[in-house]
């Protein structure tokens, strides 16, 4: 069975480079519609992508984040 995961993004540290969005193989990350306190629109995780995919805790987003504002947690199946 595939791993399931959860991504936590610190909204205030995210500068909106969106490298994490491009790195996600499951297309689970998107640009938020609400700005943070600096006026930046951070990335956020979808509960489920429109095609039915879910986070697989691959940690690609964590690896590419230059601001170290992403945490990836593996969930129990």
- Give residue 50's pLDDT: 74
Q: What is the pTM of this model?
A: 0.88
| pLDDT, mean over the chain | 92
Q: Determine the structural domain holding residue 28 and report its residue range.
A: 4-75
Q: Give residue-wise pLDDT tens across range 22-38.
A: 999 999 999 999 999 99
Report the percent of the chain where pLDDT is more than 70: 96
> Is residue 14 over pLDDT 80?
yes
One DSSP character per residue, the chain reads ---EEEEEE-TTT-----HHHHH-TT--EEE-SS--TTS---EEE-SS-TTS-------HHHHH-TT--EEEEEEP-
Q: Give the number of domains in the chain.
A: 1
Look up the CATH number of the domain holding residue 45.
Answer: 3.30.70.20
């Amino acid at each position: 069975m595939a791993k399931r995961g959860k991504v936590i993004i610190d909204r205030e540290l995210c500068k909106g480079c969106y490298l994490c969005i491009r790195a996600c193989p499951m297309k689970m990350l998107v640009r938020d519609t609400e700005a943070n306190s600096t006026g930046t629109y951070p990335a956020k995780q979808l509960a489920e992508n429109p095609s039915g995919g879910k986070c697989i805790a691959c940690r690609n987003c964590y690896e590419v984040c230059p601001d170290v504002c992403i945490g990836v947690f593996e969930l129990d199946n």
